[in-house]
Homo-oligomer: A and B are copies of this chain.
Amino acid sequence: MALQYLENGEILENEVVGPDTWRMAIRAPKITDAAQPGQFVMVAVGHESSDPLLRRPLSIHRAENDVLTLLYRIVGKGTKLMSHMKRGEDISLLGPLGKGFQLHATEHHCLVGGGLGVAPLLFLAKEIKRRLPDEKMTILLGGRNSKELLVLADFQHVAPVLVATDDGSQGLHGLITALLDQEISGPATIYTCGPSPMMKGVASLARHRNWPCQVSLETMMACGMGACLGCTVQRAGIDETEKKYVHVCKDGPVFEAGEIWL
């Protein structure tokens, strides 16, 4: 079994980086050291209260020098509580969890992220650059508007970035799938994370173009470690055994697009 830790990290930074979007940096040497791009952590948000009860899954945004970074959007109680946490406080993390992105040599690494889906892609981009420094990489980012293009500069430090916005306030006026369609030609490997309609679009284009495509999924999770069987998505193809479903926390969150029902 892969190494997993329950680690109390010290919050080094917790700040706003976009609309309702925060970034938290945590000193957590054990998890940071073991982390692979595409993996996630389960974060305890509730202190001694039983409401909220469960940990919250968040992708590993960066993992460098003993410091794990999370990028999160306030959507409910748990993420709101996280945004109230202060530098110096402890936070309990469980991780690294799940199966991340698979890195293979390819002519062209294309990272396609929408909205908060950019969270795991920065770690991935940095790893590609570190481990496969000579290979071509392009990063495509989408958002509703220019403000929703999160941590853009961080990506630009790693590789060339192309952007699309729904309102045209920056980059291509339109969907990120259109950007992908226009800008990328020839063989490539796609890594994508974002809202589910976006990933569907990206996966279908990839199938069309014969690009291998890895998608990073989200589902509701109770445990994050394969114990509750709560985090299912359906496998592509019909099967009436217990193998009909895969578990996002253990078999994923990253899957080959063809493997599952998107």
List residues of A whose CB falls within 8 A of some B CB: 46, 48-52, 77, 80
Contacts and interface: CB of A to CB of B under 8 A. Distances in A.
A77 B51 CA distance: 13
Nearest to A80: B48
A80 B48 CA distance: 10
A138 B50 CA distance: 46
Contacts of A50: 51
Nearest to A84: B47
9 contacts: A46-B49, A48-B77, A48-B80, A49-B49, A49-B51, A49-B52, A49-B77, A50-B51, A51-B51
Contacts of A51: 49-51
A77 B49 CA distance: 8
A46 B51 CA distance: 10
A64 to B, nearest CB: 31
A51 B50 CA distance: 6
Nearest first, the 9 closest Cβ-Cβ pairs linking A and B are A51-B51, A49-B51, A50-B51, A49-B49, A48-B77, A49-B52, A48-B80, A49-B77, A46-B49
Contacts of A77: 48-49
A51 B77 CA distance: 13
A48 to B, nearest CB: 6
Given A49-B52, A51-B51, 7 more contacts: A46-B49, A48-B77, A48-B80, A49-B49, A49-B51, A49-B77, A50-B51
A48 B51 CA distance: 9
A183 to B, nearest CB: 44
Contacts of A48: 77, 80
A49 B51 CA distance: 6
Nearest to A89: B84
A153 to B, nearest CB: 32
